[in-house]
Amino acid sequence: MSSPASALQLENLLYEKKDGIAYVTLNRPKVLNALNAETWRDLQTAFETTRQDEEVRGVILTGGGDKAFIAGADISELSRMNAVEAEKSSSFGQAVLSLIEDLGKPVIAAVNGFALGGGCETAMACTIRIASESAKFGQPEVKLGVLPGGGGTQRLPRLVGRGRALQLILTGEIINAQEAFQLGIVNRVLPQAVFMEEIRKLAAQIAANGGVAVRLSKMVIDAGFNMDLAEACSLESYAFSLGFSTEDQKEGMTAFLEKRKPNFKGR
């Protein structure tokens, strides 16, 4: 019988699970995968289901079609909002992106085109960002008379530094994949011909490791980032000790000593 995640049917997303990897694909190519309220809810459903699915060890998030990862918010929807509705929309989008960021499983953003506004914010909430050569990034909200509302004013400075983030947000400038790589927004830029193949290899490489160790490593890096060094190292020691209470630790070290590949169970 299929697990709930493999059977997931959503209006604005495609969901597939294969070899322990969940593939979440925005499926609104006619509007460049723009984020409307229904799509935000579909993303929430997909990632909540993924979080609960023990078979899933990682996620690849990408956009349908050949032009956009996510081109931004659905402006036709935003243009009709009042201030109260805008606050609710912003808070809900931020909650969905926090779910992605704190999933407990690595999420790779396969940025295959435009990642603007909410699309750039969605990519920044992912664990790792890989861009195709045609990808474009930006937070152009000021050109619409508003500011980023999905965490862009907070995640972008943490990735590129305050000064560079201010320049990008205050100008609304759109940058190409190589510029995004130079700034540290993306980890790699790949040719379109090998784009998804290389991302699948990366996801499989991570998924082959001890699931608890991967989860704890991400938790310590995220939590320790804003701590002072002594506190962060103390947290690392605690998480390191937790690893020694897991089946994965025993299997990993036994496999090493026996010169074989480990068979991790994620517990």
Question: Which domains does the chain carry?
Answer: 13-207 (3.90.226.10), 211-257 (1.10.12.10)
Q: What per-residue confidence (pLDDT) applies to 226?
A: 87
> Mind listing the pLDDT tens digit for each residue in 84-103?
999 999 999 999 999 999 99
> Mind listing the pLDDT tens digit for each residue in 184-193?
999 999 999 9
Catalytic residue among 16, 48, 87, 121: 121
Q: What per-residue confidence (pLDDT) applies to 7?
A: 58
Catalytic residue among 141, 179, 197, 198: 141
Residues of the chain with pLDDT under 50: 1-2, 4
Q: What per-residue confidence (pLDDT) applies to 263?
A: 86
Q: What is the largest CA-CA distance in the chain?
A: 64
* Burial bucket for residue 4 (CB in 10 Å: 0-12, 13-18, 19+): exposed
197 is catalytic: no
231 is catalytic: no
Residue that is written with structure tokens 């972008």 in the block: 156
Q: Which residues contact 82 (CB under 8 A, 6 or more apart)?
A: none
Whole-model pTM: value is: 0.92
Q: What per-residue confidence (pLDDT) applies to 171?
A: 98
Q: What per-residue confidence (pLDDT) applies to 266?
A: 78
Q: What per-residue confidence (pLDDT) applies to 2?
A: 44
Q: What per-residue confidence (pLDDT) applies to 3?
A: 52
Q: How far apart are CA 136 and CA 168, in angstroms?
A: 13
Q: What per-residue confidence (pLDDT) applies to 251?
A: 87
Closest Cα partner for 209 from 168, 253, 262, 161?
Answer: 262
